[in-house]
Amino acid sequence: MSDRRILAPYALSAPATAVLTAFMAAPLVMVLMLSFNSFTMATGIRPGFTWANYAEVLGDSYFHTIFGRTFLLAAVVTAVSVLIGAPEAYIIHRMRPPWRSIFLLIVLGPLLVSVIVRTLGWAVLLGNRGMVNTLMMRLGLIERPAEFMYTFTGMAVALVHVLVPFMVLSVWASLRRLDPAVEAAGLSLGASQATVLRRIVLPQAMPGILSGSLIVFTLAASAFATPAIVGGRRLKVAAMAAYDEFLNSQNWPLGAAIVVVLLIAMVTIVLGYNRIVERRFHQVFQ
């Protein structure tokens, strides 16, 4: 009987472990192996061991530009999300009951709609004959259509729209533990509104801002659909580059090297960020 009790949790975990191992871990190992193979147009993929693909990804300025753009985009999107998402979460937090749920629903609801639909909206808005340009021309602000589609700005705006709900959600969740009486106590003790925000609200919101930033950054750095539609071929990001190598150039080993570099970069960033945050903001999380 004792033996069965000890083995039971392993038996119960076995199906999930098997599925993950067969369809995630094993395929990832295959990709890693693939990234060391060589490729030529004439011969296709050739087994063997070479660092050539990594040398190209890490050494070629073409890929430097792509990775640089990817991480710059992620950083900009994260910064903007913090700047607009955190205040919005606080405003929603301070709303009276019916409005609070209504606006929370409006802000979070888009998460249930495909990212394609949301990006399509920006493509319509930002196009040369799109609504933003039409409106600005009618108002006489500009004379010729301004370029938004296929620009970095356009990508950043659309990605902020796609990802900012995660920031609002994350900050709102950590503010929820803030007792309104604490704010009232701060004010009654003679602190100004600004001081209360800085000394009481901000520390409380910090864990949400930090974890929200990580979510937004990682999703932005690996985003595919939005940069592909709004940025197009001209402004490739890492995910797009991998897509092109696999499905257009058919150079799978090079594409594999791109995603391995991306994965290693992401895991390093996530783990490193967690370590720094835990050390720096140790007390905030208690």
Partner 1 sequence: MTVGNGRLALLFHAAFIAFILAPLIVVGLVAFTPEAYLSIPTTRWSLRWFVAIWNSDFIPAFWISLYVGCASATIALLVSVPAAIATARHQFPGRDALVAYFLSPLMVPHVVLGVALLRFMAEVGLTANIFGLIMGHVIVIMPFTLRLALAALTGMNRHCEWAAWSLGAPLSVVFRRVTLPMIMPGLAGGWLLAFIQSFDELTMTVFVASPGTTTLPVRMFQYITDNIDPMVASISTALMLLAVVMMAAMERVYGLERLLAGKGDN
Q: Are the beta carbons of 159 and 221 closer than 8 angstroms?
A: no
In the complex with partner 1, the residue whose CB is nearer, 26 or 55, is 26
In the complex with partner 1, the residue whose CB is nearer, 199 or 283, is 199
In the complex with partner 1, the residue whose CB is nearer, 140 or 283, is 140
In the complex with partner 1, the residue whose CB is nearer, 27 or 68, is 27
Q: Least Å distance between CB 85 and partner 1? A: 9
Instruction: Please give the structure tokens belonging to residue 196.
Output: 């209360």
Q: Least Å distance between CB 116 and partner 1? A: 5
Q: Least Å distance between CB 185 and partner 1? A: 11
Question: 38-40 and 44-46 as β-strands: parallel, antiparallel, unpaired?
Answer: antiparallel
Q: Least Å distance between CB 43 and partner 1? A: 17
Q: Least Å distance between CB 193 and partner 1? A: 9
